[in-house]
A and B are shown apart, each in its own frame.
Chain A
Amino acid sequence: MESTIIKSRNFNASFGTNHVVKNVNIDIPRNKVVAVMGPSGCGKTTYLRCINRMHELIPGASSSGEMTINNENIYQMHPIFVRLKIGMVFQRPNPFPNLSIYDNVIAGYKLNGIKLPKPERDRVVEHSLTRVALWGEVKDSLNKKGSFLSGGQQQRLCIARAVAMEPEVLLFDEPTSALDPISTSTVEELFHELKANYTLIIVTHNMQQAARVSDKTAFFYLGELVEYDETKIMFTAPKDSRTQNYITGRFS
């Protein structure tokens, strides 16, 4: 019996009068990888950003409906606590350019004013970087700036930064679309490792990636959740004709 961590009921989101996410009902199981796929402009990224309340930072954005984490309503919690529980990795690697690699990993503590003793900090940095398979590559250059790394390394650094806060859920917004194929496969391998400790929700416009990395897949089309099922079923026997058309490449 798998337990649900994130649940949304009749969830809607819009920018001004533009209704981008329509009546989405979804249950995200704990410690699984869930891929959200769909053509551009289908509301998948907006939905993802609603989960940790990044959506409301955009002027004119609004949302309604129910979104819970562990049966607690996300929209009645303070956004700061929501974002501490639900980490996020963005489309383009965005390490803090003024901070060293070490400080980037610890940024969630350092910049939030949470004081950790030095050995504890060292432990968090090593642990987080090891989790994202970056420790070996950067352990001798922790004092160099984050922007010194390659694109793929920067993205793993950003994942480490999110992991360091020990969230329950990690959101990935097209995490590999700015990366080369080798970095992409490194990051994809990471998803399998991270699954043991976190719940991952990955937005991707790449169907093969969804098929490779996820346990469950959701298909969004024109703001609606068309279908949501086990990845294997989604890609072999989709129930909805629109899903069928999408995965067979009849529209993109």
Chain B
Amino acid sequence: MEIKSVKYRIGKNYGFKALVIIFAFACVVPLLFILSYILEQGITKINWRFLVNVPRPVGETGGGIVNALMGTILIIICASLIAIPIGILAGIYLSENKKSRLAYWSRLCVDILQGVPSIVIGIVAYFWLVKPFGFSAISGSVALAIMMLPIIVRSTEETLKLLPASLKEAAFALGMPFHRVIFKVIVPVGISGILSGVMLSIARITGETAPLLFTAFGNPYLNFKIWKPMESLPHVIFTYATSPYDEWKDLAWGASLILLVWVLLLNIFTKLITRKWKVQL
């Protein structure tokens, strides 16, 4: 082959490599941009008062978002308490019964559920829970739990499917009953995958605003009663960022930063857990 054509091909090769690298870098840019912008806007608004006070009326300085912070934490805890047991057990069923009819339909429904827009889930929760019982944090938790389910179910299923069959055989051959095989052998060995699914689902719902608009509603006061309306971080950002007052906009920036840091920490924590608790097969 002629030297010239080889040179041309080498040149094309370099060009393509450069293109790939540029696009890989392009994925990082939006995140860095968002991070730096939120950090710049939010960092000055966050101080001790911001974390321990409830919002003040317009015109007064020194308001905080403790109601939204506590609200989000409570709503997430309640949603997790609902979704984690159901999700993990359903995932165990799906991985144990790959071919049954129920597994087929259940898997299909979980996949569809994953694609249902959050606002639709919010409306359903509104008609089921808010109409009969009134606005409450727990109805928001139910809506968020429905959003967590598909992630937990699928990650549990996928994790457990990857475990070698010999592991289960070893346990059965020692005369273990089914529930002990599951809870003493299968789940402990797959725990890192299951937990990372749980953490990712929490990170996913932390920022959900739409379902909470219809359900937890919002509350300018600190509230720990889950059957009453409750404030949450995404909702506080939504109301205050669209308000015309600078003090309130500041609250929204601060709340955005806290939300962002929370999601980042969850993601980092997930990575650490997956690495630390990974069982070498």
Interface residues of A (CB under 8 A from B): 52, 54, 57, 59, 79-84, 87-88, 90, 92, 94-98, 107-108, 111-113, 145, 147, 158, 161-162, 165
CA distance A161 to B177 in the complex (A): 17
User: Given A54-B173, A96-B167, A112-B176, list of 17 further CB < 8 A pairs?
Assistant: A57-B169, A80-B175, A84-B174, A87-B173, A90-B169, A90-B173, A94-B164, A95-B170, A96-B170, A97-B279, A97-B281, A98-B185, A108-B175, A111-B176, A113-B180, A161-B170, A162-B174
Partner of B174, one of A59, A81, A98, A165: A165
- Closest chain A CB from B115 CB (angstroms): 30
List 30 contacting pairs A-B, 8 Å CB cutoff, sorted by A.
A54-B169, A54-B172, A57-B172, A59-B99, A79-B175, A80-B175, A81-B175, A83-B173, A83-B174, A84-B174, A87-B173, A90-B166, A90-B169, A95-B170, A96-B167, A96-B185, A96-B189, A97-B167, A97-B189, A97-B280, A98-B188, A107-B174, A111-B185, A112-B174, A112-B175, A113-B180, A147-B280, A147-B281, A161-B174, A162-B174
A-B contact count (CB 8 A): 71
Please, which residues of chain A bring their CB within 8 A of the CB of B185? 96, 98, 111
* Least Cβ–Cβ distance between B165 and chain A, in angstroms: 9
Q: Which residues of the other chain, B, contact A81 by a CB distance below 8 angstroms?
A: 175
Judged by DSSP, the binding face of B is helix
Contacts of A113 in B (CB 8 A): 180
Residues of A within 8 A of B279 (CB): 97-98
CA distance A87 to B182 in the complex (A): 20
B49 CB-CB contact with A under 8 Å: no
Look across to chain B and name the residue whose beta carbon is closest to the beta carbon of A95: B170
Residues of B within 8 A of A79 (CB): 175
For B172, list chain A residues within 8 Å (CB).
Answer: 54, 57, 83
Do A165 and B175 touch across chains, with their CB atoms under 8 A apart?
A: yes
Complexed CA–CA distance, A4 and B170 (Å): 27
> What is the minimal beta-carbon distance from A19 to any residue of chain B, in angstroms?
22
* Chain A neighbourhood of B266, CB < 8 A: none
List chain A residues, Cβ under 8 A from B174: 83-84, 87, 107-108, 111-112, 161-162, 165
Q: In the bound complex, what is the Cα–Cα distance between A40 and B184 (angstroms)? A: 34
Q: How far is the CA of A158 from the CA of B188 in the complex (A)?
A: 19
Question: How many Å from the CB of A245 to the closest CB on chain B?
Answer: 33
Please indicate the chain B residues that have their CB under 8 angstroms from the CB of A80 in the complex.
Answer: 175-177
Is B171's CB within 8 Å of the partner chain A? yes
| Closest chain A residue to B97, Cβ basis | A59
Q: How far is the CA of A97 from the CA of B192 in the complex (A)?
A: 13
Closest Cβ–Cβ distance, residue B206 to chain A (whole Å): 30
A92 touching B166, Cβ below 8 Å: yes
Check if A94 sits within 8 Å of B177, measured CB to CB. Answer: no
For A85, the closest partner residue in chain B by CB is: B175
Least Cβ–Cβ distance between B97 and chain A, in angstroms:
9
User: Using Cβ atoms and an 8 Å threshold, which residues of chain A touch B171?
Assistant: 96, 111
B173 touches A52 (CB 8 A): yes
By the criterion CB–CB under 8 Å, are A84 and B170 in contact? no
In the complex, chain A residues whose CB is within 8 Å of the CB of B281 = 97, 147
Q: How distant is A70 from chain B, measured CB to nearest CB, in Å?
A: 17
User: CA–CA, A197 to B184, complex, Å?
Assistant: 30
- Whether A111 lies near B184 (C-beta < 8 A) is yes
Closest to B180 in A: A111
**Considering the chains assembled together, what is the distance between the CA atoms of A81 and B184 in angstroms?**
19
Closest beta carbon of chain A to B216's beta carbon, Å: 39
- Complex Cα distance, B280 from A145, in Å, reads 9
Chain B 80-104 interface mask (CB, 8 Å, partner A; 1/0): 0000000000000000000100000
**B173 contact set on A, CB distance < 8 A:** 52, 54, 83, 87-88, 90, 162
Interchain residue pairs A-B with the least CB separation, the first 8: A83-B175, A88-B173, A84-B175, A94-B166, A108-B174, A111-B184, A94-B170, A98-B279
Q: Which of B99, B170, B172, B188 has the most CB of A within 10 A?
A: B170
Q: Which residues of A contact B177 (CB under 8 A)?
A: 80
Measured between C-beta atoms, what is the minimum distance from A236 to chain B in Å? 35
Closest chain B residue to A81, Cβ basis = B175
Report which of B164, B170, B175, B176 forms a contact with A158, defined as CB distance below 8 A: B170
| Bound Cα distance from A59 to B100, whole angstroms | 10
Bound-state Cα–Cα, A240 to B167, Å: 39
